[in-house]
Amino acid sequence: MYIRRTPRPARSGRPISSPRPSRTPLRSLRAGGVLLAATALLVSACSSGSSTTASTADSALAALPSSTPAALSPYYGQKLTWRTCGVPGFECATMKAPLDYAKPASGDIRLAVSRKKATGPGKRLGSLLVNPGGPGGSAVGYLQAYAGIGYPAEVRARYDMVAVDPRGVARSEPVECLTGREMDTYTQTDTTPDDGQETDQLVDAYKQFAEGCGQHSPDLLRHVSTVETARDMDMLRAVLGDKKLTYVGASYGTFLGATYAGLFPDRVGRLVLDGAMDPSLSARKLTEGQTAGFETAFQSFAKDCVSRSDCPLGGTGTSADQAGKNLKAFFQQLDAAPIPAGDADGRELGEALATTGVIAAMYDEAAWQQLREALTAAMKEKDGAGLLSLSDSYYERDADGRYANLMFANAAVNCLDLPAAFSRPDQVEKELPSFEKMSPVFGEGLAWASLNCGYWPVKPTGEPHRIEAKGAAPILVVGTTRDPATPYPWAQGLASQLSSATLLTYVGDGHTAYGRGSDCIDSTINRYLLKGTPATKGKRCS
């Protein structure tokens, strides 16, 4: 599956309020992962928008007791020691949490927290916790690079902007699996096997990835679930002195926020869930939905591309479907004969890395020009550097060949949260026709990617479930109609489950909606955060 994490560029190139920091193009993309590394990611649903399946119809997340267990009182009562860190104006601290909430005395995990205090003017409203998604995205990095300086000035004036890296992520005792060189090999593995030998190679890659995680992080892998991270969020709320949680979660961050609401409905303040996930869906249904979502996004890109003179997928009059066939043919050429990519470590551009590069650009239409240029160079000049750069940004691989732990944490969380979509190659092979029908361009690779969790060294602790959060304050769910990574039906599904939710719709392209160029979306969310006024029922923005 692919990572679910919010991109940062604005749709129109305009900031929400103040200028955004400069960054490497697409650096923040992936939220999902890539065909291999993000395989564990949840994917989704049906085009009908129906979210509940027979197996989950009677399963709803139960709220925890409203009183704090005595064994957790020391954690809830701890005092954070703040220090200056990173970007000027930000503070950092370390919060302790029990590694195992069922056995708090068995050991601690240390979680990295950062904040930027409210700037004023106006009365302080408390803390605003932010999470960019993933799973595996660094919330602290997101806060310091963007949210703490790029969120609307009126929001930053009234709230302390706060982030915590989830357990197993970035600065919070990160899950580790493979070395940089091992990851290079892993990300280049053929994800569309043509025969039994290539299928065995793909399975071996999944097994080696899983074994690496099990060897390097054996205890941690059992305690990085979304439920445990949501409980960490409640502890942070208490430690910060807030009676209610105010939160903006994007992409996978919506699953975190919804899980929090289900566990602690009486502690819900103002929750914005942008680019929403549907917790009632199985890993298989999630994969299907994301497959359809990326196909929808590609169709939008292709229609735009063929209308331009520099489109490498076909000229004016070429259909989007034909553009997809042309791209698929190019992927097949790369499968047979990778091309040079100008890489210092000797990597060439094969089908797997090229597919990841294209997927990366589907998260934000602001990247479409970059993708056209990269495809032109690769298809016409046999220069794969542009697509390799897009792929590297998605994997969070730096110029020295080091990878952030995004993909490791992504698999660890997803494989713990849900049973695997597939557990054997023959199961994938049987379903290939349906996946390829959903997406002729990406379906085959996404189907095989869903096999990853089948070899995970830790059994899943979660299952699909509805989240109702009865008694919670009004919650704002946001969905984008042509979102590739968290398809719009997921937002419809989550909004229909949460007892107090209102659905706000962005009619457009790209992953997530807040702060990406729509004044209608931004003003509606800002009003909710500042005044507690949710969107009107059925509100749609474009």
Catalytic-role residue among 28, 172, 251, 389: 251
Pairing mode of beta strands 126-131, 159-164: parallel
| Annotation marks residue 511 as catalytic | yes
Pairing mode of beta strands 91-98, 245-250: unpaired
Say how far apart CA 525 and CA 516 lie, in whole Å: 12
Coil/strand/helix, residue 68 = coil
Main-chain phi, psi angles of 131, to 5 degrees: -145, 130
Say how far apart CA 189 and CA 195 lie, in whole Å: 14
Could you give the C-alpha distances from 352 to 277, 348, 381, in angstroms and in order?
A: 26, 11, 19
Catalytic-role residue among 160, 483, 509, 522: 483
Strand order in the sheet with 83-84: 83-84, 91-98, 108-116, 159-164, 126-131, 245-250, 268-274, 475-482, 501-509, 540-541
Pairing mode of beta strands 348-349, 540-541: unpaired
Contacts of 202 (CB under 8 A, 6+ apart): 189, 190, 191, 193, 448, 451
Main-chain phi, psi angles of 224, to 5 degrees: -125, 25
* Long-range Cβ contacts of 178-182 (<8 Å, 24+ apart): 178/208, 178/209, 178/212, 178/403, 178/408, 180/397, 180/400, 180/401, 180/402, 180/403, 181/401, 182/208, 182/212
Catalytic-role residue among 232, 511, 518, 522: 511
| Annotation marks residue 216 as catalytic | no
Question: Helix count (H) and strand count (E) of the chain?
Answer: 18, 14
Say how far apart CA 91 and CA 114 lie, in whole Å: 6
Say how far apart CA 11 and CA 322 lie, in whole Å: 27
Say how far apart CA 348 and CA 338 lie, in whole Å: 6
CA neighbor of 411 nearest in space, from 203, 188, 153, 224 = 224
Say how far apart CA 239 and CA 126 lie, in whole Å: 12
- Give the number of other Cβ atoms within 10 Å of residue 399's Cβ: 8
Contacts of 445 (CB under 8 A, 6+ apart): 35, 191, 192, 352, 355
Coil/strand/helix, residue 186 = helix
Main-chain phi, psi angles of 34, to 5 degrees: -130, 180
Query: Which contiguous run of DSSP H or E holds residue 482?
Result: strand 475-482
Which residues form the catalytic set? 251, 483, 511
